[in-house]
Amino acid sequence: MKVQVAIEFMIIFAAFLLALTIIVIASWNNVVNINRSALDFEANRILNLAANRINTAYLEGDGFSIDLAVPEKVGSYEYTLEIEGNMLWLNLNEMSYHRMLLTSNITGILKKGVNTIRNVEGGVVIS
């Protein structure tokens, strides 16, 4: 009788551990997905803000000036902003995001911190 109770207890305990393991794995996957979504959201927010400011400066014409504050990090990750032709790229944690710009006539680079975006005779100058 004692052996049967011990075996039943071990079976029930093993089933409990299996269920607990499955719950932990499912929860971990949800946490990873939530963190990934938060990074995607923030990266797209920064990219849209920068692209919109550059496009606004281009559309407003000569003499227009606007500031853009670029954050140091996205979450706890470093990232880069690059302009290639009329594309703005944000590279973050082995992922790339991009937005099309209205012009490829852009001089300067976007740095982290405050940038001034100006339209000088139809071209966009970033300083």
The average pLDDT across 63-92 equals: 95
pLDDT band at 1 (very low <50, low <70, confident <90, very high): confident
Residue 2 has pLDDT above 80, yes or no: no
pLDDT for 19-63, tens place per residue?
A: 999 999 999 999 999 999 999 999 999 999 999 999 999 999 999
* Percent of the chain whose predicted confidence (pLDDT) is above 90: 92
User: How many other CB atoms are there within 10 angstroms of residue 103's CB atom?
Assistant: 16
Helix (H/G/I), strand (E/B), else coil: 75: coil
Of 40, 38, 49, 31, nearest to 99 (Cα)?
Answer: 49
Amino acid at 86: N
